Amino acid sequence: MSRLSLAVLLFGLVGAAFGGVLPNQYADWEGFIVGGSNANAGQFPYQVSLRSAANAHFCGGSIINNNWVLSAAHCTVGRTTANTIVVVGTLLLNAGGERHPSSQIINHPGYSALTLANDVSVVRVATPFVFTSTVAPVALEQNFVDSATNAQASGWGQTSNPGSLPNHMQWVNVNIITLAECRSRHNVVNAARVHDNTICSSSPTGIGMCMGDSGGPLSHDGRQQGIVSWGIACAQGFPDVFARVSSHRAWILENTAN
């Protein structure tokens, strides 16, 4: 199957994340962070690992207050709270961290599996987070950032294809590019999925975030700019697309105030 024939390839462990609720064109791939580095303790204290009841990592997310995690709707649509566990405070998938069962999942009502619009969700934990140097919230960007250098993507996406998930959290520097440039570098079908409330990143071919860790954060200057949503190919120079936090900030705050 050619890369372009897939039209859109979603981030993350799609089969686990969606529970089989999406069309076939979204299936059969896993996330990647290519050319990244091992994260240091406390470097991304807001990064979380979303796991199944069997402790299988399926998506990333970010801590936004004592009770709530921000992630992508394509990660949580079709999932139950019993099968969604939030693990925080660890760099490793196989050791450490604190496990928090979830008590509520809210998917953005405007999310579309077809167009990938409004790919945002929030997950409430049953036991509040206790903030430390390795467990802390991230600030949500309020302003529309058109472009920027040295943004950071983090998570446990695969580092090669085929391959397994890295045990150690990875991170990579990427550049935020304009929506106009993002659309111009995708084909017509994919460009239509670069909505005004998305944000795009780019990195040199063969380096950087290629497909990334679904639901995980894109941050810049200490504020979360995006939520990993979708991309195509793997380190081939196509921009990656995120739900834009500033555009969804009001909805996020409204639904996580309690």
| Options 62, 201, 214, 246, the catalytic residue | 214
pLDDT of residue 27: 36
pLDDT of residue 232: 78
* 164-217 pLDDT, tens digit each: 678 999 998 999 999 999 999 999 999 999 999 999 998 776 555 544 589 999
Domains 4-37+139-246 and 45-137+249-255 share a fold: yes
pLDDT of residue 163: 60
**CATH class as words, domain 4-37+139-246:** mainly beta
The beta strand positions in the chain, using DSSP E, are 9-10, 33-34, 37-38, 47-51, 57-63, 68-71, 85-88, 98-107, 121-125, 139-140, 148-155, 170-177, 198-202, 208-209, 217-220, 223-231, 240-244
119 catalytic? Reply is: yes
| Options 102, 119, 121, 219, the catalytic residue | 119
| CATH number for the segment(s) 45-137+249-255 | 2.40.10.10
pLDDT of residue 9: 44
Q: Where are the domains of the chain?
A: 4-37+139-246, 45-137+249-255
pLDDT of residue 233: 62
Cα 20 to Cα 63: distance, rounded to the nearest angstrom = 27
Spans in the chain with pLDDT lower than 50: 1-30, 210-211
| Options 74, 100, 108, 195, the catalytic residue | 74
74 catalytic? Reply is: yes
133 catalytic? Reply is: no
